Amino acid sequence: MKKGVLTSGAFVACLLFFVLGNAHAQNFPTRPLTLICPFAAGGVTDQYFRSVATITSKYLGQPVVVDNRQGTNSAVAVATAMAAARPDGHVIAMFPITALRIPHVQKVTWDPTKDFTFVIGLVGYTFGVVVKSDSQFKTLKDLLEFAKANPGKLLYGTSEHGGSPHLIMEDLALKSAVKFRYMTIRGQLTSKALMDGQVQVLADASAWGPHVDSGAFRLLVTFGDRRSRWNVPTASELGVDILSYSPFGIVGPKGMDSKVTKLLHDAFYRTLDDPEYDALLKKYDMVDWYKSSEDYAEWAVDQFRFQRALIERTIGLGRN
């Protein structure tokens, strides 16, 4: 009898948990959402997410508030925020591709393929190499010829050590048999560093776009699978086997209710079809990259392996 009572009690508890959980999912969201952006305010990623937050708010029925958590590493900022958040869907985050790299180069307390709930894949960047308009480098060939004749003298800057532009440039150096010097430039200061002559070359996402439009910078190459609106050659067109656009999307804390995940996915999916969103992609020349929750999670597993090989080839693995 006692065992039967315990079993009944356990059954009632499970039933109550299911009913309450289902009610929560049906009522979600019950308050404004926080969207963690692990980059500085004013940058391309921040501006993209502020626009996306405004559009998605229409479909969720609650405001989506962007919270910038800039730190020494975007992936660590996201992992820390998600570990501290309740898995109720009210705190979500951008998932940078560096989250799939960092565990290969330093010891971390989280697994990028298991400790997040993957909601939706959204978009990728247009990466490019730019110089000042009065630079001696008119083409990528000019830049590589100088680097070959002057090993270690050409100084380039990127916004994050171990970020995609950094790995792109190191991969470019390897595949072109040249040697560059490298400087990390934080936040919105990348373009200023090139403008002020702190670096000779800038490798970054399209934050340099307005400077190219104004004629202050010259774009030498991009690294997507097609030309950008500036119509300069891609790396593959120039015979360099590098394709990189670092797609990203939205994740939540581990253990989110599948119904909440679907509600979030569907709201962001509607955003992708919104006319305002089309204008946003064109403004920043971003690459459309939709992934369902399931496909996004599978992609992360595959990409985790790929990133290990890329890091090993370019900057070397850490000692975990």
Helix (H) or strand (E) holding 189: none
Identify the residue whose tokens are 């996915």: 265
- What domains can be seen in the chain, in order of their start residue? 8-125+247-314 (3.40.190.150), 128-222 (3.40.190.10)
Q: What are phi and psi for residue 79, nearest 5 degrees?
A: -60, -40
Q: What is the pLDDT along the chain (320 residues), one digit of tens a residue?
A: 333 444 555 555 555 444 454 555 779 999 999 999 998 888 889 999 999 999 999 999 999 999 999 766 889 999 999 999 999 999 999 999 999 999 999 999 999 999 999 999 999 999 999 999 999 999 999 999 999 999 999 999 998 888 899 999 999 999 999 999 999 997 678 899 999 999 999 999 988 999 999 999 999 999 999 999 999 999 999 999 999 999 999 999 999 999 999 999 999 999 999 999 999 999 888 999 999 999 999 999 999 999 999 999 998 876 43
Dihedral sign, Cα of residue 183, residue 186, residue 191, residue 197 = negative
Question: Alpha carbon of 100 to those of 58, 105, 110, 195, 288: distances in Å?
Answer: 31, 10, 11, 32, 20
Where are any strands of DSSP class E within the chain? 33-37, 64-68, 91-95, 116-124, 128-132, 155-158, 181-184, 201-204, 217-222, 248-253, 287-291
Q: How far apart are CA 154 and CA 4, in angstroms?
A: 77
Give CA angle at 88 (272, 36), nearest 5°.
55
Please give the Cα distance from 40 to 54 (Å, whole number). Answer: 18
User: DSSP character for 146?
Assistant: H
The pLDDT, as a whole number, for residue 176 is 97
| Cα 45 → chain centroid | 8
Place of tokens 């180069």: 105
Q: CA 223 to CA 168: how far, in whole Å? A: 8
pLDDT confidence of residue 270: 98
Under 8 Å between Cβ of 314 and 175: no
- CB burial of 139-171 (b: ≥16 within 10 Å; e: otherwise) equals ebeebbeebeeeeeebebbbbbebbbbbbbbbb
Rounded Cα distance, 8 and 248, in Å:
46
Q: Quick one: pLDDT at residue 93?
A: 98
Q: How far is CA 105 from CA 109, 164, 272, 317, in A?
A: 13, 14, 34, 5
CA distance 70 to 55: 23
Buried/exposed code over 256-267 (b: 16+ C-beta within 10 A; e: otherwise) = bbeebbebbbeb
- The residues near 85 (Cβ < 8 Å, ≥ 6 apart) are 91, 252, 253
Residue pointed to by tokens 């998600």: 82
Residue-level pLDDT at 309: 94
Element (H, E) at 223: none
Closest CA to 73 of 47, 101, 42: 101
pLDDT given at position 73: 82
